[in-house]
Structure 1
């Protein structure tokens, strides 16, 4: 076996009002370094992990089983830059990594569409899976057994993220959402979502940022779970942010700002005493998606 490395980007789901249908790939990565070995060995940040307990390997084996193959012995070293349970798509990245691991070890020659199908079946919806596979901004939805998606690659903005030192499980954040919306409310929420995507496609980023903050599907219900939600939004806007939103289900927040302003916005926000415990980063948008290096 020739050694290889799988790299999968993080992702930010929803992007404001694109609830469960829009995701953005970000330049934080989960890496798997794979090489030949006489027995199966899995290390996570240098620590040996039993493979039967490892989520990524279990995903890989489930994909191999679908194709009636047995994966060969190998040594896998995981290095993960994506914070867990912070709203940056860590579970989706792990799922995609497991699918690609099976693809490479089993010579399955899976198409991106097949990877998206498998990932969506496991995750439940494609909004984080799709950008981790394709890169860029992806709008996607499931029709019967088909997943339709559109990719937007040329987004001329900078991204700054605010990662608090607390976890928030997606299940908890999802449980605070209503089971249904009244027709007029849903129509307005849908219109905001539609116009946000149109603004992004037309490169009207000021309008897009404004509309992102007007989401009605999830942010009004989740904001109380998020530390410093209003404070971060207000301070970021004072310093050039077009809009600041939850990243996925939170608790990470994400600002969209003009190209070139990201490092300055990051510096300003990092100096705020209330955010002293936050990891605040200027992160580029990833346009490649999953990649394999020798």
Structure 2
């Protein structure tokens, strides 16, 4: 049996649209076994997301088949058990975990010997954007970019365990496609500079451990305000927290979850944040976690 453990991720982090992401210690575990008959049999753990597809349209299996077909191989039959702890459709990279796991399973099953770079580019092709798949595959803080020749590259850096991540997860979901449809084709030059400067400063602070000074460098002008009508309550929560708590805060990926970044020693700030959410935004579930610096982990027995 092959086991593939893939972390959730929070992309953009405010200014780093489509290039920054953090891997998180919240996981989706795929246990994969071959079977004689063709097709796939999928089961979910009792606590797993019951909305996941159990048929051949499951994103994991679709990815698995696609990668093998690209190498001229027919996919074998599979039994797959999924144990998922990642809220679906909440901007936490749940689809990226399925894509990365499908690529890894195809690589191991078909003896493809794919490099991490090849896996990453396959994942970007399937997922459509690089940030979440980079974090799911590589772990840590990832920076993704497209080369002039057309391929994608990703850089991954470990993040100090002193960074505490608090996710504020609403009960409603939002499709990434819908969130992308509302974005403008062009942006003001001043807004681009605003985000570029904060992206550079945010990366610097995360990599040098200056995690007590993240509020200003997690601001954004490129995507959140255009998507605000899609997650109005999340934006109200974001602005309210920004007024009351000195921490980094942004919409997580395409939303509607909110991600907060603060030091693990800042117990008072964390308590104030959770109290505020409980008193004024009780529909949001706070989830405390940390950065996963390993990315996808594969085992077999």
Count the aligned residue pairs.
Answer: 290
Q: Which residue of 2 aligns with 1:257?
A: 262
Of 136, 141, 146, the residue aligned with 2:140 is 136
SS of residue in 2 equivalent to 1:53: coil
Q: Which residue of 1 aligns with 2:252?
A: 247
Q: Do structure 1's residue 99 and structure 2's residue 103 form an aligned pair?
A: yes
Q: Do structure 1's residue 197 and structure 2's residue 203 form an aligned pair?
A: yes
Q: Deviations over 1:272-294 (max 9, x none)?
A: 23332222110121111001123
Q: Which residue of 1 aligns with 2:119?
A: 115
Asked whether the equivalents of residues 145 and 153 of structure 2 are also in contact (C-alpha less than 8 Å), the reply is: yes
Q: Do structure 1's residue 181 and structure 2's residue 179 form an aligned pair?
A: no
CA–CA distance in structure 2, aligned partners of residues 98 and 166 of structure 1:
27
User: Post-superposition shift, 1:7?
Assistant: 0.9
Deviates more, 1:144-153 or 1:163-172: 144-153
User: Post-superposition shift, 1:237?
Assistant: 6.2
Using the size of structure 2 for normalisation, the TM-score is 0.87
SS of residue in 2 equivalent to 1:52: coil
Asked whether the equivalents of residues 269 and 275 of structure 1 are also in contact (C-alpha less than 8 Å), the reply is: no
CA–CA distance in structure 2, aligned partners of residues 264 and 6 of structure 1:
35
Residues 121 and 263 from structure 1, CA distance in 2 versus in 1: closer, same or farther, beyond 3 angstroms? farther
Q: Which residue of 1 aligns with 2:3?
A: 5
Q: Which residue of 2 aligns with 1:86?
A: 90
Residues 28 and 262 from structure 1, CA distance in 2 versus in 1: closer, same or farther, beyond 3 angstroms? farther
User: Post-superposition shift, 1:50?
Assistant: 5.7
Q: Which residue of 2 aligns with 1:55?
A: 59
Asked whether the equivalents of residues 169 and 286 of structure 2 are also in contact (C-alpha less than 8 Å), the reply is: yes
Q: Do structure 1's residue 43 and structure 2's residue 47 form an aligned pair?
A: no
Runs of 5+ consecutive residues of structure 1 not aligned to the other structure = none
Task: Give the aligned CA root-mean-square deviation in angstroms.
Answer: 2.4
User: Post-superposition shift, 1:132?
Assistant: 0.4
Asked whether the equivalents of residues 83 and 90 of structure 1 are also in contact (C-alpha less than 8 Å), the reply is: yes
Deviates more, 1:78-87 or 1:33-42: 33-42
Residues 65 and 41 from structure 1, CA distance in 2 versus in 1: closer, same or farther, beyond 3 angstroms? closer
Of 134, 141, 153, the residue aligned with 1:148 is 153
Q: Do structure 1's residue 75 and structure 2's residue 74 form an aligned pair?
A: no
Asked whether the equivalents of residues 70 and 106 of structure 1 are also in contact (C-alpha less than 8 Å), the reply is: no
Q: Which residue of 2 aligns with 1:158?
A: 164
Asked whether the equivalents of residues 40 and 61 of structure 2 are also in contact (C-alpha less than 8 Å), the reply is: no
